[in-house]
Amino acid sequence: MLCCVHPCVPKIRPSARRPRAAGRLALVVVLPAFGAPAALAAEWYKGVAPAKRDEWIVTDGSTSVTSHGSVFVSTGVTAALNGKLQQSGARVRVEAMAGSYGYTNDAGAHVNGRQVEGGALIGYEWIWREARLAGLVGLSVRNTTLSITDPGNPVVGTSVGVKGSLDFYTRPTDNTMVSAHGSFSSNDMAYYTRFKAGYRIGSNLFVGPEAYVIGNDFYSQWRMGVHLTGMQMGPVQAGISAGYLHDREQKGGAYGTFDLRAQF
């Protein structure tokens, strides 16, 4: 169930300076909700301020909780193989996720689930003046355990699968932003999409609607909410969102997500 779209640089101005080695990596957390696919960790595009140097590593993620009792945390680290995130080029990503959730099975018993996942992907990112698009593909390993045996839930055990993801971000005007992230994994046929649109209310702060569609072989869920993106916390960009969710197993509820992102 993960990923961040996954923020990115709204105005791309390539620098002539040479790339620097990163002396540290920031760990940030992602999370979908009950049983969300492992796509969440890398939700890249959240409206980050223009870069002042040739950054080549980005870390991002989010933590998400729901009124159904699910908690997921995930993180991703992505590096530009040409040493410059502000230029088109090859990208490599390592991601990890862990979470727990609960539901009531067909027999009326409560089931607690735990899931961990790790993955490695490689791909390419295209950079334009007011937009960027990244596509990556790779392998993911997932393990899911249940507190009791549930014949109605096939999403259990350890599996290795192929995973692909797409990330898009654009600033159509100086005061608007649009981002989209989607991923699919052959592990339990898991899918995750997140769409955000925003209007600028501060220097680099955006507010607007967001929507999710999440699912796998066992469940499906959709979310509608509001996000506030682009809050600056030193070298880190932060975002929060909240809203209504509905899934096949537990019906209606509420969710909240906290996103972080940093570049070096």
Beta bridge mates, 192? 183, 214
Query: What's the confidence (pLDDT) of residue 15?
Result: 38
Residue 37: is its pLDDT beyond 60? no
Instruction: Decide if pLDDT at 19 tops 90.
Output: no
DSSP secondary structure of 81-132: TTS-TTS-EEEEEEEEEEEEEEEE-TTS-EEEEEEEEEEEEEEEEEE-SSEE
CATH of the structural domain 57-263, one choice from 2.40.280.10, 2.60.120.200, 2.40.160.40, 3.40.50.2000: 2.40.160.40
The whole-number average pLDDT for the span 133-150 is: 97
Query: Does residue 93 carry a pLDDT above 90?
Result: yes
**Predicted confidence (pLDDT) at residue 257 exceeds the cutoff of 80:** yes
CA dist., res. 92 & res. 98, Å (int): 21
The token pair that represents 169 in the structure block: 């971000």
Question: 223 pLDDT exceeds 70?
Answer: yes
**Taking the domains of the chain in order of start, what are their residue ranges?**
57-263
Mean pLDDT, all residues of the chain = 83
pLDDT band at 219 (very low <50, low <70, confident <90, very high): confident
The amino acid sitting at 239 is G
Residues 6+ away with beta carbon under 8 Å from 74: 2, 3, 29, 30, 31, 38, 40, 41, 61, 62, 95, 96, 97, 98, 99, 117
* Rounded Cα gap, residues 11 and 200, in angstroms: 14
Phi, psi of 19 (to 5 degrees): -65, 150
Kindly tell me if the per-residue pLDDT of 51 is higher than 60.
no
CA distance 95 to 76: 4
